[in-house]
Amino acid sequence: MNDPERDVGRVAKKHGVGRSSLFRWIKAHGADAFGVQKKPGRPKDWSFTSKLKAVMETQGLSDQAMGEYLRSKGLYYSHIVQWKTEVLEEVKRDGRQKPSAEAKLLKRVRDLERQLMLKEKALNEATALLVLKKKAESIWPAPEAEESADSTDEPPASSSRKPTKREPD
């Protein structure tokens, strides 16, 4: 199976790339030197999606089929049980803590609409008060006008005091 055309050293030399760079690229993209997709490494290094896929694939398998699957992936039954628990915890956590962006926007819109209604109500009340004040001023003279007429030296005609006699001049 050693293909001289696919030898990492020869490919690196042919394309003018360092061997370490080529190995780093191979490792980063998850393929071995022959282009075959690598299996995930140690079970604890598997990504969440790989774990979820394994949990989903093992659902409803018979004991014999489960054993074959586990051997092909290099797993133990305890890994599947642990990952099932992790997946369920993640689902519960997502449901509780992370409202969707759409839900956040809807809540924000509702809050802004409520604030707008309160401000419109306050503005309508202020407008009504100003209109009433203008109507009242047009019907009754302003209090300042009455005070200026009463500010003469003579006391008001309707006083509660007894009138004093004036002496003839």
Tokens (6 digits) for 110: 């509702």
Tokens 């203008």 correspond to: 134
**pLDDT, tens only, 127-138:** 999 999 998 888
Both 33 and 47 in a single domain? no
The pTM assigned to this predicted structure is 0.36
Both 126 and 112 in a single domain? yes
Question: Is residue 166 a part of any domain in this protein?
Answer: no
**pLDDT, tens only, 51-89:** 888 888 898 889 999 999 999 888 899 999 998 898 888
Report d(CA 46, CA 72) in Å as an integer. 15
Both 29 and 9 in a single domain? yes
Both 88 and 106 in a single domain? no
Both 31 and 54 in a single domain? no
Query: What number is the average pLDDT over the span 100-127?
Result: 92
Q: Is 74 left (phi over 0), alpha (psi -120 to 50) or beta?
A: left
Question: Is residue 158 a part of any domain in this protein?
Answer: no
Question: Is residue 155 a part of any domain in this protein?
Answer: no
Query: What number is the average pLDDT over the span 26-47?
Result: 64
Q: Where does the pLDDT of residue 1 fall: very low under 50, low under 70, confident under 90, or very high at 90 and above?
A: very low
Both 114 and 85 in a single domain? no
Question: Is residue 82 a part of any domain in this protein?
Answer: yes
Q: Where does the pLDDT of residue 7 fall: very low under 50, low under 70, confident under 90, or very high at 90 and above?
A: confident
What is the number of structural domains in the chain?
A: 3
| Residue 114 belongs to domain spanning | 102-137
Both 61 and 92 in a single domain? yes
Question: Is residue 163 a part of any domain in this protein?
Answer: no
Between 55 and 4, the higher pLDDT residue: 55
Question: Is residue 143 a part of any domain in this protein?
Answer: no
